Structure 1
């Protein structure tokens, strides 16, 4: 009997030692992960834009001039945000971007990285104005990128593109088919025709009664993408209802400005913005040696009013400031700390689960 007890004790000792070793290795690996992950994330959150904090942020705009919100209702609780590879004017009212700006170039799009999803809340937005992951859960709407992940040149920019400050509630077919094809077509113009394209993308809220999801995230009635190609002068905008109808139309920038109450390209003349070109609807429609054809002159739409140099300079300054903060060394507020800790914990739990399954 004593021998059996000793054998049993030996077995349990071996099992305990094996588990202890696995736990110890797990703790070491997890600790290493936390250090590496934490450093990466903190670096991303505190260096969302180039560290210079000056005009580097403005390069995403045509002639370094941001779109300008003309309606007071749009300006309420708005946040100018610089990210790696794109800029956002975020609304704390709709809890979505109002516009997202990108400068696409052949050199930029020559750098492609594998997609890695990392949807997250935006810590630079106050908690009461911030869209959350829970807002979208079970809503029936996709978290629709305005600046697409496929436009990003590095991991920091890719991480930024998954911020909810870059998302709108988008109907699944609109997001996964119509919008995907338009994004691919825009990139094809850049890569096949070797020309720069300035892109402004965002939602439109044109209805007396607007639907919301979660805690007040407003669902757009439509989504738009305005493009300008300085090399050829081609210009126009895609406008698609935010539903599963698969509809999309090409309109003038003036038409879009009238719908939005935003001067999308303040540095362009009214004559330029009334021109409308036959923008491609798919990447296959783009031919390397065939310029985009002219469509029509929009004589009916009301173009956005001009913006003074002083107003534009003030907005440029706001974006420069957003580019230098929080990397400038300013303290991180409690809401931002909570968001960082929450995401670190979620990622750590996922890592531990993967470790236990292995």
Structure 2
């Protein structure tokens, strides 16, 4: 946590939604503890994802690769209808002087505020980057199906929460994990904290603008009746195969440590590293 805050203090990371630390939206991390700085990209942005004047989740964004490193949220699925796929962008990645704290549609930025598409594209991915991809989808890190309101579901449709994900995986085993496995594994949890991320890959799409991750991963920490962690687990998938491994948090952190070449810690130490339940 200290390393992340020190790194952020050395960089201008904006105000309001793009923040200097995750303190403004620490509620999305168990005990306010973020993943350690092993995951930090060279050019990060810390985003408290704000829509309709409310924070809905948190994202560490990689400005250079134009993909999120991870999104952190509380798992609160509901029967609220999935909203239309209206893709949003982050104004404060564009210009620190923009007094726009909420994510916004790029069309609004262009027509209402006179911001050119080229200017938006300098700082992040835009809808056109995902238009003509082959065998790749716009893959959510924080999925709309894990949110509990219309507004929070809409907030997940920001391109700072999206990576190019292998279509067969996104619509196959990863979807099964998100919507079926998670429901079973959290059945006895009073609340569950989730961090879902993407390991940058060696290739890019959309004319070299957007990195295609090599792996997609997710970690969960389950709290019991006393609001203390009772279980934790992880999932990881290569982003070119329709296969997901559900493993312990310890195993996931080890795999990410090998992939990043630095020791990775995803949750507060109170979250169990050995998996306790195997539904």
TM-score (norm 2): 0.69
Q: Kindly provide the CA deviation profile for residues 131-178 of structure 1, in whole angstroms up to 9, marking residues without a partner as x.
A: 111111111211101100112222332222000000000011111112
Q: Would you say 1:239 and 2:233 are equivalent positions? A: no
Per-residue deviation at 1:124?
2.4
Q: Could you tell me which of 85, 93, 97 is aligned with 1:125?
A: 93
Q: Could you tell me which of 167, 182, 186 is aligned with 1:172?
A: 167
User: Counterpart of 1:250?
Assistant: 246
Q: Is the 8 A contact 2:33 2:267 kept in 1?
A: yes
Q: Could you tell me which of 73, 97, 103 is aligned with 1:102?
A: 73
Query: Equivalents in 1 of 2:70, 2:85: separation in Å?
Result: 22
Structure 1 gaps, min length 5: 1-45, 278-291, 295-358
User: Counterpart of 1:153?
Assistant: 148
Q: Is the 8 A contact 1:189 1:195 kept in 2?
A: no
Structure 2 gaps, min length 5: 1-14, 50-54, 95-119
SS in 2 for 1:253: helix
Query: Equivalents in 2 of 1:213, 1:69: separation in Å?
Result: 28
Q: Kindly provide the CA deviation profile for residues 247-276 of structure 1, in whole angstroms up to 9, marking residues without a partner as x.
A: 11123232243024474435216x943x24
Q: Structure 1 stretches (4+) deviating beyond 6 angstroms? A: 46-49
Query: Residues 1-358 of structure 1 correspond to what in structure 2 (within 5 A)?
Result: 57-70=25-38, 74-83=40-49, 84-104=55-75, 108-110=76-78, 112-126=80-94, 127=120, 128-140=122-134, 141-184=136-179, 185-190=181-186, 192-205=187-200, 209-231=202-224, 233-243=230-240, 245-251=241-247, 252-258=251-257, 259-260=259-260, 261=262, 263-268=264-269, 272-273=272-273, 275-276=274-275, 292-293=277-278
Task: Report the aligned-residue RMSD.
Answer: 2.9
The alignment covers a number of residue pairs equal to: 221
Query: Equivalents in 1 of 2:190, 2:59: separation in Å?
Result: 23
User: Higher helix proportion, which one?
Assistant: 1
SS in 2 for 1:80: strand
Query: Equivalents in 1 of 2:168, 2:43: separation in Å?
Result: 31
- CA shift in 2, pair 1:220/1:98, >3 Å: same
Higher relative contact order (CA 8 A, sep 6+): 1
Q: Is the 8 A contact 2:78 2:145 kept in 1?
A: no
- CA shift in 2, pair 1:94/1:187, >3 Å: farther
Per-residue deviation at 1:56?
5.8
TM-score (norm 1): 0.55
